[in-house]
């Protein structure tokens, strides 16, 4: 790409300008055109499944040759099932209601002015991700549905797979008469392209969404000069109150920790009411039986001897693995204090039959998602009914929790008068 | 303040930490306590009116000695009427509904989970303003109502006035049993305090709101490392369509430009439909008769000879004065194109009887506030029914248009289950 003498910065800036122009067309595109594009994308993904799988096999071969981790190769690898899941997800987004132009609220002033708050697209979204090729389709689809242009920068290890999927997306855009620049894929593996995106490409990018590991998100949050929708980690807590239904607590704790240990909504720390010591052994033996390593404070270990000792560091660690830290706390206020000190404010759950305890937990814990008598693994845009998510945000600005289509829009005020002038 | 060996950075960081602690208490404060504090503040402002006016007289004397501009001295000067207006504004905020804990939306998932999106405070707001002492009370009140702690940094020229008003606010906080650190006033004139606030005081400040002239806002937007609610300028347009009611158009144009020329919602550019030349002379003679200088393109001047020639620069200028730039455009699409090119995307108005024209303008112009058949001078949180505003934002993130109490909150998701685990 730089052989023709065009610098990376110029190339990126031009991508930004093309995205900005495409965004202006998308902002007023008919909902039917966006849905038609998404369905045509799904058809193209299925039609080109073999080409996508060939490209993916080449990526996987390179990854294996470079001794990539088993987990990374699993995230990278596509098969027929995963490809048809990509097509299915595109059709699901096509079927979702279109947010653009919907009236979020409406009121009439005493002087007769009718004020409507109307959803509008954000503009241009930059998505920076790593090895999962399906993010190319998921992020492209959600941004398009919200009327945004998107600039995608996938991981170099999945570049062939992402390019093959991107070709199908562009086919769908053109089939529906929408600008191909609505979904652009950065065509270089040059890491400097990420730095250029983080500066906003001279005002062309409105928000950056990083999808990947801690080191990527840290870099984005440190360097970005535009807003970022992200979470650094999901250090999620489950508090079991003395009033909990013991059987329910056991089911929820095992599910919150062990259903999938690698997702951001997985529980990492279990807090148990000090006044309910009888809950400790059943909860921890269930976890151990499910294959979870238990690291606990001394008073917990006195009640469940198989537990290993937990250090201060354990309560600050997002394991993303079959390991859990456990401590006793003085009721709900003790749980609130522990969470305030250690949590990443992503997702926390309280297990209690006492509604006053649940209400106090919900009111005092300042995290994006709070659950009462349910598993933290529900922290997911699909589970919230958002029709997928582009990520989960722990920031407080604009988007918080699952970032779905609605969070990819902004709004403006449209005021209808009958000649009013201001006194 | 630095005499005791404590550095400015330390002092500011400690203010941030105290604000963070106060914010945690405010987030769960009872609505009645916040309202009681606001009423006690109003009483204290009235009780201490003489002390506030004495402090203000000293500020005004210094300003006059330093040859400050007449406009600046007018913004700075308080009198008995302005002081009681400050008290009245505090009582109005006390009477507004409390946003914290209100359910913005609620839905039930097929698995029975009930998801509520609940408003919560942002945390700590930093307000940086210039000479208007009343901002001390207005900003403090709005932030408190939304459950936020606030760090106020007023202009050095109004420091005595702001300190006297701040003392009344602190009295109100303590009378209601709320932490005095909920509303802190930076006690130094050192400009470096602004720089410290723009870095977020080590994570203590969640958002910065600048209230002042272009140079202040430019510095804040350039240096801030936390989100900013602001607008650089209000280069507002009025488009008069061929379908306009001529009498209505004349009333609205004069009001939009001349009611108050110094506010951000004042019109700066008038766009007239090229196919309605008969509208030009009446509209411009009304403006001239009202004392407005008219700067127009050549084809406009051919239709209204008193007009002065307008340069390209005129269409990029926020006059904030009795001056207007005028051009002809090819219908609503011509107006949309001109606004797209020149507008600061703050507020624009369309005057038209043809609803299709108004709808097209509203859908295609991407500004924070759009008005149909009404004056741009309604661009104001009070006029929107927000019960005052802390500013007007032209950014697309989180807050856009008037920033009232609701925009000073964020939200979290509170999910109520009955033991659900994720399959």
Is residue B120 domain-shared with residue B190, that is, in the same domain?
yes
The tokens describing B62, both together, are 């210094």
Task: Look at residue B345 and tell me whether its pLDDT is greater than 50.
Answer: yes
**Token match 């000695």: residue?**
B65
Other C-beta atoms lying within 10 Å of the C-beta of residue B124: 30
Taking only the tens place, the pLDDT of each residue in B150-175 is 999 999 899 999 999 999 999 999 99
Mean pLDDT across B406-421: 95
User: Mind telling me how many Å the CA of A191 is from chain B's nearest CA?
Assistant: 24
Taking only the tens place, the pLDDT of each residue in A211-228 is 988 899 999 999 998 999
Task: Look at residue B16 and tell me whether its pLDDT is greater than 90.
Answer: yes
Is residue B224 domain-shared with residue B241, that is, in the same domain?
no
Taking only the tens place, the pLDDT of each residue in B53-104 is 999 999 999 999 998 888 889 999 999 999 999 999 999 999 999 999 999 9
Which residue of chain B has the CA closest to A410? B396
DSSP H or E segment with residue B308: strand B308-309
Domains in chain B: how many in total? 2
User: Per the CB < 8 Å rule, is B410 touching A420?
Assistant: no
Task: Look at residue B190 and tell me whether its pLDDT is greater than 90.
Answer: no
pLDDT of residue B177: 97
Any chain B CB within 8 A of the CB of A419?
Answer: yes
Task: Look at residue B375 and tell me whether its pLDDT is greater than 60.
Answer: yes
Residues of B in contact with A363 (CB under 8 A): 28, 101
Are the C-beta atoms of residues A232 and A217 closer than 8 Å to each other?
A: yes
Are the C-beta atoms of residues B271 and B327 closer than 8 Å to each other?
A: yes
Distance of CA A157 to the CA centre of its chain: 21
Is residue A182 domain-shared with residue A241, that is, in the same domain?
no
Residue A62 counted as domain residue: yes
pLDDT of residue A2: 45
Is residue A130 domain-shared with residue A201, that is, in the same domain?
yes
pLDDT of residue B5: 57
Residue A385 counted as domain residue: no
Q: What are phi and psi of A58, to 5 degrees?
A: -65, -40
Mean pLDDT across B334-342: 97
User: Mind telling me how many Å the CA of B200 is from chain A's nearest CA?
Assistant: 14
> pLDDT above 90 covers what percent of chain B?
91
Task: Look at residue A1 and tell me whether its pLDDT is greater than 70.
Answer: no
Task: Look at residue B368 and tell me whether its pLDDT is greater than 60.
Answer: yes
Task: Look at residue B372 and tell me whether its pLDDT is greater than 90.
Answer: yes
DSSP H or E segment with residue A115: strand A114-121
Is residue A250 domain-shared with residue A188, that is, in the same domain?
no
Q: What whole-number distance in Å separates Cα of residue B344 and Cα of residue B253? A: 19
| Structural domain boundaries, residue A177 | 8-229+403-415
Is residue B201 domain-shared with residue B310, that is, in the same domain?
no
Taking only the tens place, the pLDDT of each residue in B204-258 is 999 999 998 889 999 999 999 899 999 989 999 999 999 999 999 999 999 999 9
Which residue of chain A has the CA closest to B393? A412
Residues of B in contact with A419 (CB under 8 A): 245, 248, 251-252, 373-374
Residue B420 counted as domain residue: no
Are the C-beta atoms of residues A8 and A190 closer than 8 Å to each other?
A: yes
Is residue A92 domain-shared with residue A224, that is, in the same domain?
yes
Mean pLDDT across A355-371: 96
Residue B3 counted as domain residue: no
CB-count exposure of residue A121 (10 Å: 0-12, 13-18, 19+): buried
Taking only the tens place, the pLDDT of each residue in B46-56 is 999 999 999 99
Taking only the tens place, the pLDDT of each residue in A393-413 is 999 999 999 999 999 999 999
User: Per the CB < 8 Å rule, is B414 touching A372?
Assistant: yes
The tokens describing B123, both together, are 């945390």
Taking only the tens place, the pLDDT of each residue in A2-39 is 455 578 999 999 999 999 999 999 999 999 999 999 99
Give the closest residue to B341 by CA, choosing from B354, B321, B327: B327
Task: Look at residue A178 and tell me whether its pLDDT is greater than 90.
Answer: yes
Supply the CATH number for residue A96's domain.
3.40.605.10
Any chain B CB within 8 A of the CB of A245?
Answer: yes
Task: Look at residue B318 and tell me whether its pLDDT is greater than 50.
Answer: yes
Q: What whole-number distance in Å separates Cα of residue A31 and Cα of residue A26? A: 10
Residue A421 counted as domain residue: no
pLDDT of residue A206: 95
pLDDT of residue A154: 94
Are the C-beta atoms of residues A387 and A404 closer than 8 Å to each other?
A: yes
Average pLDDT of chain A?
Answer: 95
Is residue B125 domain-shared with residue B248, that is, in the same domain?
no
Is residue B184 domain-shared with residue B152, that is, in the same domain?
yes
Nearest CB to A420; choose among B101, B245, B375: B375
Task: Look at residue B2 and tell me whether its pLDDT is greater than 60.
Answer: no
DSSP one-letter code for A228 = B
The tokens describing B286, both together, are 């009304």
Is residue A172 domain-shared with residue A256, that is, in the same domain?
no
Task: Look at residue A242 and tell me whether its pLDDT is greater than 80.
Answer: yes
Q: What whole-number distance in Å separates Cα of residue B406 and Cα of residue A414? A: 18
Taking only the tens place, the pLDDT of each residue in A120-176 is 999 999 999 988 999 999 999 999 999 999 999 999 899 999 999 999 999 999 999
Taking only the tens place, the pLDDT of each residue in A47-74 is 999 999 999 999 999 999 998 888 889 9
Any chain A CB within 8 A of the CB of B414?
Answer: yes
Q: What whole-number distance in Å separates Cα of residue A95 and Cα of residue A89? A: 10
- State the angle between helix axes of A31-47 and A134-145 in degrees (0 to 180), rounded to the nearest 10: 170
Other C-beta atoms lying within 10 Å of the C-beta of residue B255: 23
Write the CB contacts of A313 (distance below 8 Å, at least 6 apart in sequence): none
Any chain A CB within 8 A of the CB of B105?
Answer: no
Q: What is the dihedral of CA B50, B51, B55, B56, to 10 degrees?
A: -30
Q: What whole-number distance in Å separates Cα of residue B219 and Cα of residue B232? A: 10
Question: How many residue pairs from chains A and B have C-beta atoms closer than 8 A?
Answer: 181
pTM listed for this prediction = 0.92
Mean pLDDT across A339-359: 97
Q: What are phi and psi of A244, to 5 degrees?
A: -65, 150
Is residue A176 domain-shared with residue A271, that is, in the same domain?
no
Q: How far apart are the first and last CA of chain A?
A: 60
Mean pLDDT across A233-255: 97
Residue A147 counted as domain residue: yes
Taking only the tens place, the pLDDT of each residue in A276-308 is 999 999 999 999 999 999 999 999 999 999 999
Mean pLDDT across B128-138: 93
Task: Look at residue B4 and tell me whether its pLDDT is greater than 70.
Answer: no
User: Per the CB < 8 Å rule, is A366 touching B27?
Assistant: yes
Looking at chain A from residue 185 to 204, which residues have their Cβ under 8 Å from any Cβ of chain B?
Answer: none
Is residue B195 domain-shared with residue B312, that is, in the same domain?
no
User: Mind telling me how many Å the CA of B61 is from chain A's nearest CA?
Assistant: 33
Residue A205 counted as domain residue: yes
Average pLDDT of chain B?
Answer: 95
Residues of B in contact with A373 (CB under 8 A): 416-420
pLDDT band at B6 (very low <50, low <70, confident <90, very high): confident
Residues of B in contact with A24 (CB under 8 A): 340, 366
Residue A393 counted as domain residue: no
Supply the CATH number for residue A304's domain.
3.40.309.10
């Amino acid at each position: 790409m730089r052989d023709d003498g065009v610098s990376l910065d110029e190339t990126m800036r031009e991508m930004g300008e093309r995205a900005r122009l495409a965004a202006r067309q998308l902002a007023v595109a008919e909902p039917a055109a966006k849905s038609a594009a998404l369905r045509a994308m799904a058809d193209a993904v299925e039609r080109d499944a073999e080409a996508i799988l060939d490209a993916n096999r080449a990526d996987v071969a390179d990854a294996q040759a470079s001794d990539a981790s088993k987990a990374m190769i699993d995230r990278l690898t596509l098969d027929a099932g995963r490809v048809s899941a990509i097509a299915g997800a595109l059709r699901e987004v096509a079927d979702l209601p279109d947010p653009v132009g919907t009236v979020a609220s409406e009121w009439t002033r005493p002087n007769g002015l009718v004020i409507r708050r109307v959803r509008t697209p954000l503009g241009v979204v930059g998505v920076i991700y790593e090895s999962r090729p399906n993010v190319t389709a998921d992020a492209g689809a959600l941004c398009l549905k919200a009327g945004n242009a998107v600039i995608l920068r996938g991981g170099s290890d999945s570049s062939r797979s992402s390019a093959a999927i991107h070709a199908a997306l562009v086919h769908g855009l053109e089939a529906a008469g929408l600008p191909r620049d609505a979904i652009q894929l950065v065509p270089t593996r040059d890491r400097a392209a990420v730095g250029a995106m983080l500066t906003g490409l001279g005002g062309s990018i409105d928000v950056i969404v990083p999808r990947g590991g801690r080191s990527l998100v840290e870099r984005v949050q440190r360097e970005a000069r535009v807003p970022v929708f992200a979470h650094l980690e999901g250090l999620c807590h489950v508090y079991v109150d003395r009033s909990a239904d013991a059987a329910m607590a056991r089911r929820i704790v095992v599910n919150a920790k062990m259903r999938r240990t690698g997702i951001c909504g997985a529980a990492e720390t279990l807090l148990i009411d000090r006044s309910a010591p009888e809950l400790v052994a059943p909860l921890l033996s269930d976890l151990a039986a499910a294959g979870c390593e238990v690291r606990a404070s001394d008073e917990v270990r006195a009640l469940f001897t198989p537990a290993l000792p937990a250090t201060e560091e354990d309560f600050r660690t997002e394991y993303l693995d079959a390991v859990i830290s456990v401590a006793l706390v003085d009721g709900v206020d003790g749980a609130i204090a522990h969470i305030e000190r250690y949590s990443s404010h992503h997702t926390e759950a309280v297990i209690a039959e006492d509604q006053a305890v649940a209400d106090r937990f919900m009111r005092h814990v300042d995290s994006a998602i709070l659950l009462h008598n349910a598993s933290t693994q529900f922290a997911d845009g699909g589970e919230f009914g958002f029709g997928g998510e582009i990520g989960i945000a722990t920031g407080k600005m604009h988007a918080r929790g699952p970032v779905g289509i609605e969070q990819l829009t902004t709004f403006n005020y449209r005021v209808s008068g009958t000649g009013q002038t201001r006194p």
